[in-house]
Amino acid sequence: MTITYFEIIKFLDINKVTYELKGEPLEQYLISSIFSPIENGFYFLTDHTKIIRELKSSLFLINENILPKDENVFIVIEENPQLVYYQLLDFYFKENSTGKICDTVKIHEEAQIGKNVQIDSFTVINKCIIGDNTIIKSHCVINDNTSIGCEVLIEPHCNIGARGVAWIWDNKGGRILQPQIGGVIIGNNTMIGSNSVIVRGSLNENTIVGENTVIAPGARLGHGSNLGKFSHLANNVVTGGNVIIHENCFIGSSVTLRPKVEIHPNTIIGAGALVIKNTTGKGFTLKGVPAKEYKSKKNSSGVPNFKRI
């Protein structure tokens, strides 16, 4: 995917980002990652590393005033280059709803669907509420008693409001299942990655995903779990029933949380951890099996700076 130099400068001007150009820019560049560098790429850098010396004919968004080398070009800004880079790409390439509902979608007659909603092929929409400008990709199931906010993105093969399991033995050695008759509430501006399952509440409870939360592929949220706003779940996170994760938490890949544990705001949980008890306060890092609390580093690897709450 390419972007022109004119488009980059236009965005900076619109957003009143002060910049200084170092070098002679090309007409267009390939949008590129510093982890897979190529020539003629457009990158952000938070410090000048050896990658600059290894590449030619590339454009760097940077906040250090350095001299161009080897035909590279620099746009020097005072703001965080990563933030401006992400904002720029979001401005030009954000996925917006087409407002189209595919012919193969099955919709319950009592479903409430907002304005400009996109629903892709072979998705099933049961008796639920879907807010404006939401995108639901192919092969999803949205079950009864689900309320989805506005500007939500649900990737393919998700099941929202699935049935969970709670049961007890009877006095004859049989198993009695508890009815699963609660619901799911998905907040505004949320993203749910592909192949995720969000189980509905058991009785009168709801499973809640707070606004502005992002969930990577393969998540499993148990019945009655409550995920606070501005949180992040990495790949394959699993919560037991009635887990509470407060605002602004970062949960690493393949973390498992025992039923009914409570996680304070601003918590980081490292990849693969097994959480079996409540945190004691906000701002800790958990890691290990079973997980233990540690003081969080100022800049934890792979974790964006927290939003202040």
CB 198 within 8 A of CB 159: yes
Q: How far apart are the first and last CA of the chain?
A: 36
Q: Are residues 178 and 273 in the same domain?
A: yes
Report the distance separating Cα 146 and Cα 62, nearest Å: 44
Residue 181: domain span:
106-295
Q: Are residues 85 and 134 in the same domain?
A: no
| Residue 302 within any structural domain of the chain | no
CB 139 within 8 A of CB 160: no
| Residue 30 within any structural domain of the chain | yes
Q: Are residues 126 and 20 in the same domain?
A: no
| Residue 301 within any structural domain of the chain | no
* DSSP 8-class letter at 79: S
Q: Are residues 39 and 164 in the same domain?
A: no
| Residue 45 within any structural domain of the chain | yes
Q: Are residues 118 and 72 in the same domain?
A: no
| Residue 73 within any structural domain of the chain | yes
| Residue 253 within any structural domain of the chain | yes
Helix (H) or strand (E) holding 108: none
The CATH number given to whatever domain includes residue 171 is 2.160.10.10
Helix (H) or strand (E) holding 125: strand 124-125
The pTM assigned to this predicted structure is: 0.90
Q: Are residues 115 and 223 in the same domain?
A: yes
| Residue 304 within any structural domain of the chain | no
Q: Which residue pairs, CB below 8 angstroms and at least 24 apart, start in 295-298?
A: 296/266, 296/268
| Residue 300 within any structural domain of the chain | no
Give the amino acid at 289: V
Give the number of other Cβ atoms within 10 Å of residue 196's Cβ: 24
Upper half-sphere CA count for residue 92 (Cβ side, 13 Å): 19
CB 188 within 8 A of CB 208: no
Q: Which of 93, 118, 136 is the last residue of a domain?
A: 93
Q: Are residues 151 and 231 in the same domain?
A: yes
Per-residue pLDDT of the chain (309 residues; tens, 9 = 90+): 999 999 999 999 999 999 999 889 999 999 998 888 888 999 998 766 556 667 788 999 998 766 556 678 999 999 999 999 999 999 999 999 999 999 999 999 999 999 999 999 999 999 999 999 999 999 999 999 999 999 999 999 999 999 999 889 988 889 999 888 999 999 999 999 999 999 999 988 999 999 999 999 999 999 999 999 999 999 999 999 999 999 999 999 999 999 999 999 999 999 999 999 999 999 999 999 999 999 887 766 667 766 555
Q: Are residues 145 and 183 in the same domain?
A: yes
Q: Are residues 79 and 166 in the same domain?
A: no
Q: Which of 93, 127, 152 is the last residue of a domain?
A: 93
Q: Are residues 15 and 43 in the same domain?
A: yes
Report the distance separating Cα 96 and Cα 76, nearest Å: 30
Q: What dihedral do alpha carbons 14, 18, 22, 28 form, nearest 10°?
A: -20
The CATH number given to whatever domain includes residue 59 is 3.40.1390.10
The whole-number pLDDT of residue 17 equals 95
Q: Are residues 82 and 120 in the same domain?
A: no
Please tell me the total count of domains within the chain: 2
Q: Which of 93, 118, 141 is the last residue of a domain?
A: 93
Report the distance separating Cα 148 and Cα 125, nearest Å: 11
CB 221 within 8 A of CB 207: yes
Q: Are residues 239 and 202 in the same domain?
A: yes
